[in-house]
């Protein structure tokens, strides 16, 4: 029997607790921070109900962003992934789990996607403690900036998130952000667009203090 401890639709992940009267086998969680294109990997799962299936291939790409599917950039692999593989492990040649099989591109062959295990591990404490993921919020409305907008505002930067509104009594207001501030760095990460800022902010722990770098008009 299994019980759902926590789940998060935005990342397509859940944490379950299995109650068993015997010792269950486990797999070691590796790291996805040092993955390289061309590494051999194997995917495990139950494609189309065919249980205990293993397929092999390589890592085809890393950092594949498909926002409508997942909050985390995917690992792309040509190891065959089919319906029924989702939730199964993607492992390296040491048998360590470096990703969770998640999605396919139905238009193609040999294009499957897995959630990097470091991203999985980053939300496990919240799923275990709170049953859900609480996401960061700073309280701004924003837009992207192009060369014409930057020129009209007297800005040299053409990348970043341009603040258009600051919500009263929000973290952004307390930090001194104002409309027309161009956020170019947040929490030590370069910000190229409003989408970049949303991702970085949403993944920060609630209550964390951080730094913002802005280009002012």
Q: Which residues are 212's β-sheet partners?
A: 186
Please write the tens of the pLDDT for every residue from 83-128.
999 999 999 999 999 999 999 988 888 999 999 999 999 899 999 9
Please write the tens of the pLDDT for every residue from 127-141.
999 999 888 899 999
pTM for this prediction: 0.77
Contact 127, 13 (CB under 8 A): yes
Residue 47 neighbours by CB under 8 Å, 6+ apart? 53, 80, 81, 82, 83, 84, 85
What's the burial of 193, exposed, middle or buried (CB within 10 Å: 0-12/13-18/19+)?
middle
Q: Which residues are 64's β-sheet partners?
A: 74
Tens-binned pLDDT, residue by residue, of the chain (217 aa): 899 999 999 899 999 999 998 999 999 999 999 999 999 999 999 999 999 999 999 999 999 988 778 888 999 999 999 999 999 999 999 999 999 999 998 888 899 999 999 999 989 999 999 999 888 899 999 999 888 888 888 887 788 999 999 999 999 999 999 998 999 999 999 999 988 898 889 878 788 899 999 987 6
Contact 74, 114 (CB under 8 A): yes
């Amino acid at each position: 029997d299994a019980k759902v401890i926590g789940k998060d639709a935005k990342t397509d992940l859940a944490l379950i607790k299995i109650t068993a009267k015997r010792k269950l086998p486990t797999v070691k969680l590796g790291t996805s921070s040092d993955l390289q294109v061309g590494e051999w990997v194997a995917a495990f799962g139950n494609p189309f109900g065919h249980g205990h299936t293993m397929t092999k291939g390589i890592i085809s790409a890393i950092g594949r962003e498909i926002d409508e599917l997942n909050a985390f950039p995917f690992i792309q692999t040509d190891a065959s992934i089919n319906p029924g593989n989702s939730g199964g492990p993607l492992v390296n040649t040491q048998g360590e789990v470096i990703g969770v099989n998640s999605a396919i591109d139905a238009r193609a062959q040999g294009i499957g996607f897995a959630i990097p295990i470091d991203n999985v591990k980053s939300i496990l404490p919240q799923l275990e403690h709170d049953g859900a993921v609480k996401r960061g919020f700073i309280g701004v409305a924003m837009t992207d900036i192009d060369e014409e907008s930057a020129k009209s505002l007297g800005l040299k930067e053409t990348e970043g998130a341009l603040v258009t509104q600051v919500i009263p009594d929000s973290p952004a207001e307390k930090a001194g952000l104002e409309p027309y501030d161009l956020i170019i760095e947040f929490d030590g990460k370069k910000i190229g667009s409003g989408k970049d800022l949303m991702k970085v902010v949403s993944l920060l722990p609630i209550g964390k203090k951080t730094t913002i770098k802005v280009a002012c008009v």
